[in-house]
Amino acid sequence: MNLVLLLPEDLIERDGPCARAVLHDRRLDHLRRVHRAAPGRELRVGLLGGRQGRATVEAIDATAATLRVVLDTPSPPKLPLTLLLALPRPKTLRRMLQTAATMGIQRVVLMNSWRVDKSYWKSPQLEPAAIAEQLRLGLEQGGDTMPPQVDVERLLVPFAKERLDVLAAGTTRLLAHPAAPTPCPRHRAEPITLALGPEGGFIADEVALFEHHGFAPVALGPRLLRVEQALPALVGRLT
Ligand code: SAM
């Protein structure tokens, strides 16, 4: 945890950028076990959806930590990147959401695809609270307070027909596809919408559907990467 992420309900006093916060949950445990925090200790903190800054530990014991907080610094700007992610298996989904938040991705759409196992759509990991928890873990790692917007699209064709063009308007549209003859471009400053396939990859009809909506299939090279490897490789290459 590189930044202690505060929730609005943690704040017991607020006066402009100054606040006092009380923590009880896993963050208290982390402060005690990992940071070995004691009164007077300074910590990097941020308010979910708000600014970040510093906190001083006023008191800490097994039941609560009280922090005196100054929130005066904006979080880093988001990457102008929208990720269209074919729903992965629940364990991978957790990691992908964390990675997206850590890397500063602006928006994530979890979408269906032919080779997405139907059982994945029943996962409790898709509950809004479960998604929010993974995003918070990713923000704590990256030192950010602004989570990506996450949307869920359970039907690919209606999503593509009715919403994809609006969502991707004004962006460069790329579909990561190992079989594509075109290499993924490098160092792009403009907004990008990037589609990432399921474990088994996109089927030909899906590649054609995305191409119809202006997406260029691009490859990272001849090796087949897991989605959790492909995402950081693609983001590192594109930004
Ligand atoms: N057998 C599948 C195929 O050939 O598409 C492999 C799918 S891979 C495990 C899952 C997703 O990661 C792919 O659909 C693609 O979006 C992305 N990916 C993995 N390796 C890639 C590469 N070398 N180039 C571009 N995208 C890649």
Counting ligand 1 atoms within 8 A of each CB, the residue from 89, 96, 175, 177 with the most, and so the one to mutate, is 177
State in Å: Cα 118 to ligand 1 middle.
20
Q: How much distance in Å is there from the Cα of 195 to the middle of ligand 1?
A: 11
Tell me: pLDDT of 30 over 90: yes
Predicted confidence at residue 12, as pLDDT, reads: 95
How far is it, in rounded angstroms, from Cα 104 to Cα 139? 8
Per-residue confidence band for 196, with pLDDT thresholds at 50, 70 and 90? very high
- Give me the phi and psi of 159, to 5 degrees please: -60, -50
Does any ligand 1 atom lie closer than 6 A to the CB of residue 76? no
In this prediction, residue 103 carries a pLDDT of 97
pLDDT for the residue 194: 98
Confidence band of 163 (pLDDT split at 50, 70, 90): very high
- Residues 6 or more apart in contact with residue 87 via CB below 8 angstroms: 93, 110, 111, 112, 113, 116, 120, 121, 198
Atom of ligand 1 nearest to the CA of 197: 14
Other CB atoms within 10 Å distance of the CB of residue 155: 11
User: Residue 107: CB within 6 Å of ligand 1?
Assistant: no
Q: What angle do CA 195, 200, 203 make, to 5 degrees?
A: 65
Q: Contact 116/159 with Cβ under 8 angstroms?
A: no
Span 43-64, mean pLDDT?
Answer: 97
Give the confidence band of 23 by pLDDT, cuts at 50, 70, 90.
Answer: very high
**Sheet strands (E) in 61-122:** 65-73, 79-86, 105-111
| Ligand 1 touching residue 177 (CB < 6 A) | yes
Pocket test for ligand 1, best of 112, 186, 225 (most atoms within 8 A of CB): 225
Q: Are 33 and 1 in contact (CB under 8 A)?
A: no
CATH of 79-238, one of 3.40.50.720, 3.40.30.10, 1.20.140.10, 3.40.1280.10: 3.40.1280.10
- Per-residue pLDDT band for 18 (boundaries 50, 70, 90) equals very high
Q: 50 and 79 in contact (C-beta within 8 Å)? A: no
Q: What is the CATH number of domain 4-73?
A: 2.40.240.20
Side-chain-side CA neighbours of residue 45 (13 Å): 29
Q: What is the pTM of this model?
A: 0.96
Q: Give the pLDDT mean for 116-142.
A: 98
Sole residue written with tokens 């017991």:
12
* Residue 94 pLDDT: 98
Residue 225 Cβ contacting ligand 1 at under 6 Å = yes
Residue type, 8: P
* Predicted confidence (pLDDT) at residue 27 exceeds the cutoff of 90: yes
Please give the Cα distance from 5 to 25 (Å, whole number).
12
Query: What's the mean pLDDT in 77-102?
Result: 98
Amino acid 1: pLDDT: 82
Give the Cα-Cα-Cα angle 146, 148, 152 (nearest 5 degrees): 150
Query: Which two tokens mark 232?
Result: 């950081």
Question: What are the sequence ranges of the domains in the chain?
Answer: 4-73, 79-238
Q: Give the pLDDT band (50/70/90) at residue 125.
A: very high
Q: Coil, strand, or helix at residue 122?
A: helix
pLDDT surpasses 90 at 174: yes
Helix (H, G, I), strand (E, B) or coil at 99: helix
Pocket flag, ligand 1, residue 83 (CB < 6 Å):
no
Tell whether the model's pLDDT for residue 9 goes beyond 90.
Answer: yes
Mean pLDDT of the chain: 97
Q: How far is CA 233 from CA 10, 86, 99, 110, 230, in A?
A: 36, 17, 12, 19, 5
Separation of CA 83 and ligand 1 centre (Å): 14
